[in-house]
Chains A and B, each alone.
Chain A
Amino acid sequence: MNTTVQTSNPYVAEPMRLIRRYPMKENVHFFQVRAVDMQKALHLEYLPGQFMMISIPGVGEAPFSISSTPSRPGLLEFGIKRVGNVTNAIFKLKENSVFGVRGPYGNGFPVQKMRGRDLVIIMGGLGAVPLRSLLLYALDNRDQFGKLYLLHGARSPNDMLFIEEFFHMMERDDLVCYLTVDQDDTGTWPYDTGLLTRLIPRLTDIDPENTYVTVCGPPVMYKFVVEEILKLNVPKHQILMTLERRMKCGVGKCGHCIIGGYIYTCMEGPVFSYWDVMHMQGLI
């Protein structure tokens, strides 16, 4: 039985403390938080790809992908871009202030089914936030996966989130890591330049039938990335993407995240396969 930070009232958030925050780039900050109740902090279970609702009383709530991994319990991490009322309020929080978080919600990545398979993680821009959870999970449980690839694209070196972490990963032997920027405005970028899609043909030694590919990035990215992955013969239902929608409740009630009239993204998503995308109208 999963421990969640929910009371019997699913709309009441658990008090959490902001432990640490720092800017990753302009308007995108890293937030590390912990449930004030230490038992709840340690026993919160979640899956990579799930999200939480962050609640700022007086302003409102919004859904945020979890960027930390459940394999490192105690702290939750988020990468948050300042775009609206709720994120404006979150950006005003100082370290050690207390606010509300509830969840986890959504389906998350099917890590059980991914066991023993090759895993390709493709992230563009802010897509690094949710996929970092899966990446760290796979690294922490390295023996449960086959080959592991990370492909990360950003507009420029200054736009690359978690850049320090990914630079360290370039040094590791237990995954293959390709980093690329569209443009190097620093003149010191040591890795690839050009679009993320150009890196995909390098994945020649995966076993496509036994590979999961996860994609998250700006909407324009999906079409081109998926086209390239299909060329590698990865089955459509093993290409996974995580989507964004407006949400007011996170628990399948308020209706705002419905897609195509069928699907509550908060319940049946936010992780969908390319097969889902093909047969459900209006998904991307």
Chain B
Amino acid sequence: MKNRIFMLVSLLIIASVLLAACSGTEAPAGQAGTTQAPAAGEKVTLRVLVHQNPPMVDFMTAFNEKFQTNHPNITVDMSIVNANDLSTVSQTRLTAKDVDVVDMFGFANAAQPYMKKVDPPNWQTLIEAGYLMDLTGQPFLANYAPNALQDAGTYNGKVYEVNLGRVIYSGIYYNKKLFTENNVKVPTTWSELVAACETFKKANIPCMTAGGKDGWPIFVGAYGLLGAIYPDQAGLVEGLWTGTIKWNDAKSLEMWQKMQIYARDMMEPGASGVAGDAAPGRFASGAVAMFPGGSWYASAIEAAQPDFEWGYIPFPGSDNPEDNKYLFGKYDQGWVIAANTPNKEAALLYLTEFSAKENYQAFVNAVGFIPTQPDVTLDTKIGQEVAPYLSNFHVGYEQYWVAPKGAGQYANPWASYFKPFGTYDDPQALADKVQADLQSGLDAVK
């Protein structure tokens, strides 16, 4: 009897292990081109997944209502998740065949030929596993700029994502009223920025705020410092990998020195506790002179205080004004369709209508994206503010950067390593630490 019970328990263990193991290797059932479109007029529930971005969610809600009115047989079931969870939820729902259309950030961080032993980004793994529909040749793609499709949605010559816009994150919002009242000129150089902050501090006005609680806004706020010194961000990444650029060389040390001033002297005390989505409200309250941040914050500032007067300038990281005319950013949100969707026709229809010029124009105006459709312009205030610099738009460093395995946790150009947010108060010591952490990884993957 004991033997039989032992056998039974053993079988159960083996069965459970096999179940767990099999669940990890099952291939997706559907592939692009093999799904059956529902018959015309058939009731369809189109499952759409987007990330939390209040202006975008408001727009999408209105768009969905309009879409449903145009197509009474289609019901749009839109889910909203936090931006940090989008990647995980997308992956889970794509593999569970539980979603049709997904909002996915522009393809970035691809492995480059000079990078050794790096893991492919998730979007690439999803494509290779057959989860994203090949959209190549779909008529609505013609509405978008070919370079946007190529840069942010193409892999191995096929289009998998329609990118909906670029955002800028190397600028500073400034409070026009405070600048006027304190006779401060809008800074175009680093020295002018430092002087402006000193003037505001003397007047007991905090110079800058940021959503430090989320961590990354402190880094993103200082992007202009990185950009002013290394305008060719793809070249910077290659230089770091190949050793021609070092985080502790003389050029980089200048950046670290300025980052310390930014973190220690420019940022208001307590900024580390301000949540990312609360920072625009803090700035719009009129209490702070400047707010280094991305173009996507504009609509939140306007929503918080519609009459508030603000401007937006590139972060002046250099004392040469010509070096400060660049804007850095990334391809933001785009649409992908699940390859195994049973609602292929409805999903393509959804993207087709979204891509119609009037809808797309309303979308970019709502969210403040720099459009990827050539016939559309950003008509909003932020659009006017960034228009003079758009010809100098560059994709930013962190869209290219992939850390070598074995690199330490400090191998990044982040201003938040400095006090009061971090532990460092010596730029040279931090520069050496960052380079050592990077070099450790580069040596490990040789």
Do A and B truly interact?
no
Residues of A at the B interface (CB closer than 8 Å) are none
Residues of B at the A interface (CB closer than 8 Å) are none
